[in-house]
A and B are shown apart, each in its own frame.
Chain A
Amino acid sequence: MKYVLPVLLTVMSGYIAAEMSADEFVKHIDGFRGYQDKGFSFSVVNISYRPDKEPRQNQLQVKVLDDKSLVKFLSPAREKGRAMLKEGKDMWLHIPGTRRVIRVAPAQRLLGETSNGDVVGIKLHQDYSAKVLGPAENDKEVELLLTAKDKKSLYYQVKFRVEKDAPYRPVKSEFYSLSGKLIKTAFYKEFKSFEGEEKLHKLLLVDPIQEGRYTWMMFDNYQEQSLNENIFQKESLTRL
């Protein structure tokens, strides 16, 4: 009996903590990529690998305010000056050479192996419903299942492994289509402190369908900023 009570309490506390904090876990995941409702900026470097090919690299500067993101291409040199605006699902691309601003679809990839959604600001807690699946085998992590509120989302379900204890860093996530096909696996490799807040620093994306294709992403220079809403307009894309 003297062993039963502590065991029961441990199991129950773990269960209650896990079940009650599903949304909290997701907000913590979002917190590693931004500053909730405040404006902020960061830079991203993507290096994509394919079998028997030279790696491709690009660098972007991103500004985020609410559900709006503004992405400016800094490299490669031939794509410098391109800019992309994302407002919810609506996205526009500005190609400076022609001064054209064209609407692009969320599924339209502009960044090699990384999707547009990987580089912009994300708010999983707004777009997905979360539930705790239970503890992972190693007992240090929790498994979460996120299901998109919109069935048309590119990633209908995301399975996350998150640290069970604070600061609740994400460890790994798997992205599934509506048909249940695994599209992408992400490994959250490194975190870094910016102005006292810990943010995702290095992310590894692996393509489970095409063997040997993967992308390293490095997020850096996170800064909370007072950003004017007027710069997140399609008309402003030509003026970046």
Chain B
Amino acid sequence: MRFALCLALLPSYLVAQEFDDPFAAPDFRLEEENKAVDFQANLFAYWQRQEVRSTLFNPGLIDFSERERKYALDVQLESEISSRIKGYFRAVTEHGQFSLNRRSESQDTLLEGYIETHSDDNSWWLTVGRKKLQWGNGFNWSPANLMQPYFDRPSSDVDNLKQLKGWDLIEVQRQFDGTSLSFWVAKAPESIEGDFQGAVRWSIEAPIDLSLILHKVEEGEINSALTWSHLLGEVTTLRAEWSYQKQRELPLSTLSDEVQNEGYHKAVVGMNYSFSNQWSFVAEYLHNEHGYDSQEWQSLVNETQLARDNYLNGVDVPMSLRSLFSANNILSNGQLRQRYAFLMLSNTQVDQFFQFRVSNQFNLDDDSYFWRVELFQNWTQRFSSRIEYEAFSGCEYCEFGLTPYEDQLRFAAYYVF
């Protein structure tokens, strides 16, 4: 009988022995949520080395450095002024030596700063100030983000916080049961004619996740976008986005700023598959009518090639310089062609000591591509680092073969206060 009792108690004895209660430790304490004032600061720095190459678009014209470094302090402050009024502020101060001009630069940027208030039942919301809007639900491409202060490629450089700079706007939102309607009025970007732009967004939530966006710049035509996401079983999510803009994003020629105005579609479809071991796989396909077709691309390349030859031979130098600078500006926009694929494998959703992400972006029109490998190390609750390697590959007339860097290696360190 005693023997039987000992056997019955054995499993619980083992559990108690193997798994000591960490919450009973004298130094254990809970984090307190401070609603009145919540302050967070992130100090980070990166050092980068890149392999610069001469390309058709840059025959030694722009002197890129092989080294780059940046130090930055990102400060966020949130305050609950009253039970119905909240204030939010985010700014970044950066100092660095960048590849493009080799000079040291310092810059302070107010990314966001707004006051927000709501009705007693949280159904009406009013926001005034600078705020970043995010309408897309894709990972790599977000055609639905029709209002963009900067070119919106969040996965291109996570250390470039200027991508998160918001608009100076007024936002009104009305929430219903499972749906919402939002209105925005914001300053128009300087590059576009007109002082203001406006947008309206209607969205439905679970289980259908659908939103329709209409956007108009004061002097322009109405643009529209649609987003959709869907859960497939327990492990897969699907998403799609589509936009239609009257004005094309890219000029047809390096010698003219004029853009076509015939209406252009952009659409992305994607999926995310979650493995049981905390890894996930993302695949996306982009169809982009703003990009150049084969004939247009060949014409742009011929134009730039002529400008390069003229520049090197000292013929019509001012015009050649203008054409070459314009070609490089176009190149920095990204997605110059019409068909792209994006693949990513990562385990970065879960906080753990090592996190890993590898991603590829393929230009399906010219077979050029770039790939990126990132290794994150979370040393402590506050200190982490990241090593990133990027490589660009393609023929001399292909998009990713024309980038000024062949590859780049970056080491970044982050400390959160």
Chain A at the B interface: mostly helix, strand, loop or mixed? mixed
Whether A234 lies near B175 (C-beta < 8 A) is: no
**Mask of A168-197 contacts with B, CB within 8 angstroms, 1/0:** 000000000000000000010100000000
Whether A101 lies near B134 (C-beta < 8 A) is: yes
Whether B231 lies near A103 (C-beta < 8 A) is: yes
Whether A90 lies near B378 (C-beta < 8 A) is: no
Given contacts A109-B278, A111-B350, contact A59 B122 (CB under 8 A): no
Q: Which of A59-117 contact B (CB under 8 A)?
A: 59, 61, 74-81, 87-91, 97-112
Task: State the Cβ distance, A155 to closest chain B Cβ, in Å.
Answer: 10
Partner of B229, one of A98, A103, A230: A103
| In the complex, A145 has a CB within 8 A of chain B | no
Determine the chain A residues whose CB is within 8 A of the CB of B417 once the complex forms.
77
**Mask of A185-229 contacts with B, CB within 8 angstroms, 1/0:** 001010000000000001010100000001010101000000011
CB-based A-B contact count at 8 angstroms? 158
| In the complex, B290 has a CB within 8 A of chain A | no
Partner of B209, one of A43, A78, A103, A105: A103
| Cα A87 to Cα B178 with chains together (Å) | 11
Whether A239 lies near B116 (C-beta < 8 A) is: yes
Whether B19 lies near A74 (C-beta < 8 A) is: no
Whether A100 lies near B349 (C-beta < 8 A) is: no
Q: Which of A131-172 contact B (CB under 8 A)?
A: 137-138, 152-154
| Cα A47 to Cα B125 with chains together (Å) | 37
Chain B interface size, under 10 / 10 to 19 / 20 to 34 / 35 or more: 35 or more
Whether A105 lies near B350 (C-beta < 8 A) is: no
Whether A110 lies near B8 (C-beta < 8 A) is: no
Given contacts A78-B416, A228-B122, contact A187 B134 (CB under 8 A): no
Determine the chain A residues whose CB is within 8 A of the CB of B235 once the complex forms.
105, 107-108
| Cα A55 to Cα B30 with chains together (Å) | 16
Chain A interface size, under 10 / 10 to 19 / 20 to 34 / 35 or more: 35 or more
| In the complex, A10 has a CB within 8 A of chain B | no
| Cα A234 to Cα B15 with chains together (Å) | 40
Chain B at the A interface: mostly helix, strand, loop or mixed? loop
| In the complex, B351 has a CB within 8 A of chain A | yes
Determine the chain B residues whose CB is within 8 A of the CB of A239 once the complex forms.
86, 116, 125
Whether A90 lies near B382 (C-beta < 8 A) is: no
| Cα A230 to Cα B101 with chains together (Å) | 50
Partner of B274, one of A79, A107, A153: A107
| In the complex, B261 has a CB within 8 A of chain A | no
Determine the chain B residues whose CB is within 8 A of the CB of A43 once the complex forms.
30
Whether B175 lies near A152 (C-beta < 8 A) is: no
Whether A137 lies near B8 (C-beta < 8 A) is: yes
Quick one: closest B residue to A204, CB to CB?
B19
Whether A77 lies near B19 (C-beta < 8 A) is: no
| Top 7 A-B residue pairs of the complex, sorted by shortest distance between their CB atoms | A90-B206, A230-B122, A108-B274, A77-B416, A99-B134, A76-B381, A103-B229
A residues near B, CB below 8 A?
43, 45, 47, 53-59, 61, 74-81, 87-91, 97-112, 137-138, 152-154, 187, 189, 202, 204, 206, 214, 216, 218, 220, 228-231, 233-236, 238-239
B residues near A, CB below 8 A?
8, 15, 19, 21-23, 30-31, 33, 40, 86, 116, 121-123, 125, 132-134, 136-137, 139, 154, 164, 173, 175, 177-178, 180, 182, 203, 205-207, 209, 229-231, 233-237, 239, 272, 274, 276, 278, 280, 349-353, 378, 381-382, 384, 414, 416-417
